[in-house]
A and B are shown apart, each in its own frame.
Chain A
Amino acid sequence: MGERAIKVEGLTKRYTIGNQKSGSFRESFSALLRKRAKPIDFFALKDVSFSVDKGDAIGIVGRNGAGKSTLLKVLSRITEPSSGRIEINGRVASLLEVGTGFHPELTGRENIFLNGTILGMTRREVSSQFDAIVDFSGVEKFIDTPVKHYSSGMYVRLAFAVAAHLDPEILIIDEVLAVGDADFQKKCLGKMEEVSKNYGRTVLFVSHNMTAVSSLCNKGIMLKSGMVSEIGTAADVVHKYLNNEDEGLTYYKNWQADDEIHHDGVVQMHYVKLVGSDGEDISVAKISESIGIELSYSVKKDGYKPIPNIHLFTEKGEKVFVSVSPSKMEYTKAGTYKSRAWIPPNFLNQENYIVGIAVSTLSPVVVHASDYRCIYFEVMDDLLSVTRNGFTGRIDGVIRPLLDWELIDCN
């Protein structure tokens, strides 16, 4: 400890909106002719400073749009900062996704080499790790089959296996653990833990999964609107993040047209709120009653088939479910719509939940608008609820569904 791995000073990344230089000749020419609309500067990162010691595992948390991904991109040298300075001591590997460069026509073997060299390894390094990578992935039988024939699970396992065998001094990871099945996720978390604790590597980890951040990291950084709002131990930062007073989450949320949650001009979300079974607004939900999540949104362009979907999380950041509105119900004409999703009674537990909302087109997947932390609500228990069946203590679990039980008398 004590030796410095990363030092960031006054890091700023500015994007200019409304005057994007990418475009066409026509735009460039017409921009010369007419008076330019005043470009709006948007600061994805603003004067960010921190330092990381060797062997630290740092969790970077913050809401969508807080600048986490931009910070990782700048640290990984994918894009240059507008100002500020970063000093990195040590070999860096950054994993902003798994399987970068994978080509469906190439075999598993070929993709391991391609992906490995993209991640910064040499051919020789990949060769020496090859058996271990194949072993970790569990796809040995299909290693000479083009990956287009792989199931998505196999694909992800192979991709992660390559990443897991990088041997960097500094590892930068963005949400890549949000893939694969539970067993595989466990394996990946284990690998990360091994890297940071046993080998004393430095890890920077961005995640919405607060459980993972608290268990893997010793320090935390919280970003808010592109600025550092909290630096401290991982536990403290996770606590601050989950303490929603800070974020003002409540049982409804309104958005403006120019909010960052709108990723393209196709969909604008107006509000989301909690409603009771009679359609009235509610602020707390009762465990034995239906809970409605009402979303109002506008489709701005014809020809799209945007579908609302709900992402429910516990307060700790564990995902409870994703529910997608059945597509045949949806309209394709521009206009304003209101959707209501009903969570059945006796389904959730006595817990605090956070609702995320997105409106997306499904195939191919395009997320038009999304806010994965928009409302916060508590479910009030009822000691007489049918799922208690008389029991009065605390019942663990993310949900507490009413199941069909059978009792067969075998006497």
Chain B
Amino acid sequence: MSNVVIEAGRNRLMLNIRELWRYKDLFWLLAYRDYRIRYAQTALGFVWAFIQPFATLLIFTVVFGVAAKVDTKDIPYPLFAICGMTAWTFFSYVLSNSSNSIITSQQMVKKIYFPRLIIPLSKAVVGIIDFFIALLFIVILCIYYKFVPSANIIYLPLFAIMTIISSLAVGIWMSALTIRFRDLQHVVPFLVQLGLYATPIAYPAEMLVTSLPKWATVVYFINPMAGAVEGFRWSILGGQPPNDYIYISFILVLVLFVTGLFYFRKVERTMADIV
């Protein structure tokens, strides 16, 4: 028999893993729902999942590869860009969708109890579909350019996990903050747009490291995705290992993730009252 005690401030900071596990079916069903309704009633349906990354890649190639002639050493520019985009697309999807996820689920939040963390977490699942589509693009481009991925590819899962944690870290923070500060609903799309250029996606980070003063480089790497994107690309394309600045990015991600969980937990207790 289950036995529950409800008290003000009880278990405030403990993350209840067992309870999250008990609600795992809900986690999957919420993700399934998002997947099902994402392209519902659209004429092209799932094709959109391919059109969007393809169009972005095309523009990047024209603007940065052909016109601006970004130096990517001996790697074909489209292949260079898609590697950065893969991690970024996932991040931007998860961030955009999880940050207002509690607000869009307020009907549920006000009417029933379940661990609220499930809501932003479930957004990562649909993002993974996009992630695999982008990986498919990488495979196609590798074949087209007859490019053999480097041996570093064994590190790919590590950077993929880093990408997921980074997305969830920012997503969880934003979902909890957006309840109180609705302005963030307008800030997040802006951040995502800005981040596309402030992250080494269309160009190598090395380009900035060599031309920026040291303090500016540090500021540049206070970006949860800077490290993940650099590492992700390195593990596929090889070449010079990413510089040590990426550790700034990694430490930041871990700090954000842990503090985000605590903050979420704190807000969760009265979420239904303020949402």
Residues on A close to B: CB < 8 A? 15, 20-26, 28, 73-92, 94, 96-97, 100-101, 103, 105-106, 110, 113-114, 117-120, 122-123, 169
With A80-B8, A83-B8: A24-B25 Cβ-Cβ less than 8 Å: no
- Kindly state the separation between the CA atoms of A75 and B5 in the bound complex, as whole angstroms: 10
**Does residue B254 face the partner (Cβ distance < 8 Å to A)?**
no
Residues of B with C-beta under 8 A to A23 = 180-182
With A100-B111, A114-B29: A90-B1 Cβ-Cβ less than 8 Å: yes
Residues of B with C-beta under 8 A to A105 = 36-37, 40-41
**Does residue B211 face the partner (Cβ distance < 8 Å to A)?**
no
**Does residue B240 face the partner (Cβ distance < 8 Å to A)?**
no
CB neighbors of A among B32-65 (8 A): 32-33, 36-37, 40-41
- Kindly state the separation between the CA atoms of A110 and B36 in the bound complex, as whole angstroms: 10
Shortest 5 CB-CB contacts between residues of A and residues of B: A77-B113, A86-B6, A22-B274, A117-B26, A80-B269
Residues of B with C-beta under 8 A to A101 = 107-108, 112
CB–CB B180/A22 < 8 A: yes
> Residue among B6, B33, B110 with the most chain A CB within 10 A?
B6
CB–CB B4/A78 < 8 A: no
Residues of A with C-beta under 8 A to B181 = 23-25, 28
**Does residue B7 face the partner (Cβ distance < 8 Å to A)?**
yes
Residues of B with C-beta under 8 A to A79 = 269-273
- Listed by A's residue number, 20 A-B pairs whose Cβ atoms lie within 8 Å are A76-B112, A76-B113, A78-B109, A79-B273, A81-B8, A84-B8, A87-B3, A87-B4, A90-B1, A91-B1, A96-B111, A100-B108, A101-B108, A105-B36, A106-B36, A110-B33, A117-B25, A118-B26, A119-B112, A169-B1
- Kindly state the separation between the CA atoms of A307 and B208 in the bound complex, as whole angstroms: 63
- Kindly state the separation between the CA atoms of A25 and B184 in the bound complex, as whole angstroms: 9
**Does residue B183 face the partner (Cβ distance < 8 Å to A)?**
yes
With A90-B1, A105-B40: A77-B33 Cβ-Cβ less than 8 Å: no
Residues of A with C-beta under 8 A to B33 = 103, 106, 110, 114
- Kindly state the separation between the CA atoms of A100 and B30 in the bound complex, as whole angstroms: 12
- Kindly state the separation between the CA atoms of A91 and B274 in the bound complex, as whole angstroms: 27
Residues of A with C-beta under 8 A to B179 = 22
User: Closest CB-CB distance, B269 to chain A, in whole Å?
Assistant: 4
Size class of the contact patch on chain B: 35 or more
- Kindly state the separation between the CA atoms of A118 and B40 in the bound complex, as whole angstroms: 22
CB–CB B8/A118 < 8 A: no
**Does residue B114 face the partner (Cβ distance < 8 Å to A)?**
yes
CB–CB B25/A123 < 8 A: yes
Residues of B with C-beta under 8 A to A87 = 3-6
CB–CB B107/A100 < 8 A: yes
CB–CB B111/A77 < 8 A: no
CB–CB B112/A103 < 8 A: no
Residues of B with C-beta under 8 A to A74 = 6
**Does residue B2 face the partner (Cβ distance < 8 Å to A)?**
yes
- Kindly state the separation between the CA atoms of A89 and B269 in the bound complex, as whole angstroms: 21
Residues of A with C-beta under 8 A to B1 = 89-91, 169
User: Closest CB-CB distance, A309 to chain B, in whole Å?
Assistant: 24
- Kindly state the separation between the CA atoms of A90 and B3 in the bound complex, as whole angstroms: 6
User: Closest CB-CB distance, A205 to chain B, in whole Å?
Assistant: 17
User: Closest CB-CB distance, A176 to chain B, in whole Å?
Assistant: 10
CB–CB A78/B25 < 8 A: no
Residue of B nearest to A11 (CB): B6
- Kindly state the separation between the CA atoms of A307 and B22 in the bound complex, as whole angstroms: 46
Given contacts A79-B271, A105-B40, 12 further A-B pairs with CB under 8 A are A22-B274, A23-B181, A78-B110, A79-B270, A80-B9, A80-B270, A86-B4, A90-B1, A94-B112, A100-B111, A105-B41, A122-B25
Selected contact of A113 from candidates B23, B29, B40, B274, CB within 8 Å: B29
- Kindly state the separation between the CA atoms of A78 and B109 in the bound complex, as whole angstroms: 7
Residue of B nearest to A12 (CB): B8
User: Closest CB-CB distance, B6 to chain A, in whole Å?
Assistant: 4
Residue of B nearest to A120 (CB): B114
- Kindly state the separation between the CA atoms of A88 and B5 in the bound complex, as whole angstroms: 6
Residues of B with C-beta under 8 A to A88 = 3-6
CB–CB B3/A118 < 8 A: no
User: Closest CB-CB distance, A92 to chain B, in whole Å?
Assistant: 7
Residue of B nearest to A90 (CB): B1
- Kindly state the separation between the CA atoms of A134 and B108 in the bound complex, as whole angstroms: 23
Residue of B nearest to A20 (CB): B274
Selected contact of A24 from candidates B4, B28, B32, B182, CB within 8 Å: B182
Residues of B with C-beta under 8 A to A118 = 26, 108, 112, 114
Residue of B nearest to A75 (CB): B6
CB–CB A81/B7 < 8 A: yes
Residue of A nearest to B30 (CB): A114
Residue of A nearest to B109 (CB): A78
With A22-B274, A110-B36: A82-B8 Cβ-Cβ less than 8 Å: yes
CB–CB A97/B111 < 8 A: yes
CB–CB A78/B6 < 8 A: no
- Kindly state the separation between the CA atoms of A20 and B180 in the bound complex, as whole angstroms: 9
Residue of A nearest to B267 (CB): A21
